[in-house]
């Protein structure tokens, strides 16, 4: 195991991913500490994986971060380069005669000076950036974090599967730790909620449970390779909820569709000529995964915001003494978040099973 970890970090270093950026003037030195930026920088996705920041003797701030590949689709053509070329939003990248600039986490097409043009939008009653945005398929921090999670899951579960082959009897070690969890998902989440046909959905249910759980837990780790707020990102939870929606509607039985378009036991005038009930039921199809998406996103994001805000207290007061109050609170919230990590993985899986179970039922 130790050997594997060493090989992993060895590869990481050998690939030259770690680098220290050029020093830049620390503009924020004398400014007021911006809590919103501090929190949002952590909560939001990013084009490089920030590891640490330090100020050298000359008062220059250095940021150590892992550059991640930027993949843009602009004018139908893919554009690829490393995010380090942006120098943390200080440089314009020129590729194929186009100029790209990273502004507040979003890549815009700009002129060669990286000018961001803003204009006032009458409808939204706010200033909006009018620069063109290329389609961004970059391997962002969250994507890289997901790769880490996937790698961990593959390593863990394939080794567990091997352990079963080697030792079919009493489980031990990692196998002994994972087995109750796997059996919990199977026997207490999938089986009672889906019903007889639960085995078809087990691979999805198990994968989604552990994917959410490990992402939640990794999100709580403040340093690399954790720290990516994956399950607190709306795109990720949207995708997962979408999978549940697809699984639900693909497996919908005749009774399920009949219930949606022609609900039994409902007076006819609710269905014809204005199809009120079908519309309500149809909204239900969308609202179920929508609730899943929002619940996971909001719970994890809220937890991270609380932790980051409590840490920010130290910087707001600019007093190390505040940590005496802040750290115990953070510790408490972190422990709570571990609980939340399990609960949210459980709830997402449970509700997915419930929705699938309702769709699978042939008749009651």
Partner 1 sequence: MDLVSPGIGLIFWTSLVFIILMILLRVFAWKPILTMVNKRNDSIENALKQAEIAREDMKKLQTDHELMMEQAKQERDKIFAEAREMKEQLMQKAKDETDKMVTKMKADAKAEIEGQKQAAINELKQQVAEISIDIAEKILKSELEDKKKQEAMVNQLLKEVELN
Residues that bind partner 1 (CB under 8 A): 40, 43-45, 71, 104-106, 135-140, 142-143, 146-147, 150, 153-154, 157-158, 160-161, 164-165, 168-169, 179, 182-183, 186, 202-204, 206-208, 211, 233-236, 238-240, 242-243, 297, 301
Q: Which residue has the tokens 């085995």?
A: 199
Q: Which is nearer to partner 1, 116 or 255 (CB)?
A: 116
Least distance in angstroms from the C-beta of 145 to partner 1: 10
Q: Which is nearer to partner 1, 136 or 334 (CB)?
A: 136
Tokens of 143: 């994507």
The CB-side HSE value for 145 (13 A sphere, CA atoms) comes to 32
CA 322 – CA 332 distance, rounded (Å): 16
End-to-end CA distance of the chain: 51
Q: Which is nearer to partner 1, 154 or 324 (CB)?
A: 154
Q: What are phi and psi of 361, to 5 degrees?
A: -50, 130
Q: Which is nearer to partner 1, 7 or 183 (CB)?
A: 183
Least distance in angstroms from the C-beta of 202 to partner 1: 6
Least distance in angstroms from the C-beta of 63 to partner 1: 21
Q: Which is nearer to partner 1, 131 or 326 (CB)?
A: 131
| Vertex 65: Cα angle to 60 and 71 (nearest 5) | 125
Q: Which is nearer to partner 1, 238 or 316 (CB)?
A: 238
Least distance in angstroms from the C-beta of 249 to partner 1: 17
Tokens of 205: 């249910």
CB atoms within 10 A of CB 273: 5
For residue 33, give Cα distances in angstroms to 52, 308, 331: 17, 13, 23
Handedness of CA 220, 224, 230, 235 (dihedral sign): positive
Q: What are phi and psi of 221, to 5 degrees?
A: -75, 120
Q: Which is nearer to partner 1, 64 or 155 (CB)?
A: 155
Closest listed residue to residue 78, CA positions, set 148, 15, 139? 139
Least distance in angstroms from the C-beta of 178 to partner 1: 8
Q: Are the beta carbons of 134 and 102 closer than 8 angstroms? A: no
Q: Which is nearer to partner 1, 17 or 150 (CB)?
A: 150
Least distance in angstroms from the C-beta of 239 to partner 1: 4
Closest listed residue to residue 74, CA positions, set 101, 106, 109, 39? 109
CA torsion 339→204→215→151, rounded to 10°?
130
Instruction: Output DSSP code: residue 134.
Output: -
Least distance in angstroms from the C-beta of 130 to partner 1: 16
Least distance in angstroms from the C-beta of 267 to partner 1: 39
């Amino acid at each position: 195991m130790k050997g594997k970890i060493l090989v992993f970090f060895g590869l990481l270093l050998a690939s030259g991913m770690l680098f220290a950026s050029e020093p830049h003037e620390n503009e924020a030195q004398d400014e007021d500490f911006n809590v919103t930026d501090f929190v949002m920088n952590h909560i939001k996705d990013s084009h490089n994986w920030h590891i640490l920041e330090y100020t050298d003797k000359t008062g220059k701030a250095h940021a150590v971060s892992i550059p991640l590949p930027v993949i843009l689709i602009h004018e139908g053509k893919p554009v690829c380069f490393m995010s380090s070329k942006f120098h943390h939003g200080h440089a314009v990248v020129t590729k194929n005669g186009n100029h790209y600039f990273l502004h507040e986490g979003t890549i815009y097409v700009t002129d060669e000076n990286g000018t961001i043009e803003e204009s006032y939008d009458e409808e939204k009653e706010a200033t909006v950036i009018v620069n063109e945005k290329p389609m961004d398929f970059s391997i962002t921090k969250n994507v890289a974090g997901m790769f880490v999670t996937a790698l961990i899951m593959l390593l863990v579960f394939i080794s567990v599967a091997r352990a079963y082959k080697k030792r079919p009897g009493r489980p031990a070690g990692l196998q002994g730790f994972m087995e109750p969890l796997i059996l919990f998902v199977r026997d207490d989440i999938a089986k009672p909620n889906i019903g007889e046909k639960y085995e078809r959905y087990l691979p999805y249910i198990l994968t989604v449970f552990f994917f959410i759980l490990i992402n939640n837990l990794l999100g709580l780790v403040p340093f690399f390779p954790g720290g990516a707020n994956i399950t607190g990102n709306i795109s990720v939870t949207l995708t997962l909820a979408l999978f549940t929606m697809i699984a639900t509607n693909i497996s919908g039985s005749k009774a399920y569709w009949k219930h949606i378009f022609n609900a039994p036991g409902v007076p006819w005038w609710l269905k014809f000529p204005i199809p009120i009930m079908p519309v309500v039921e149809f909204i239900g199809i969308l609202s179920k995964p929508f609730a899943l998406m929002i619940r996971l996103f909001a719970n994890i994001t809220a937890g991270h915001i609380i932790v980051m805000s409590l840490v920010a207290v130290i910087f707001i007061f600019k007093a190390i003494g505040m940590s005496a109050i802040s750290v115990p609170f953070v510790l408490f919230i972190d422990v709570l978040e571990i609980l939340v990590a399990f609960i949210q993985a459980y709830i997402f899986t449970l509700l997915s099973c419930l929705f699938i179970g309702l769709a699978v039922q042939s008749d009651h």
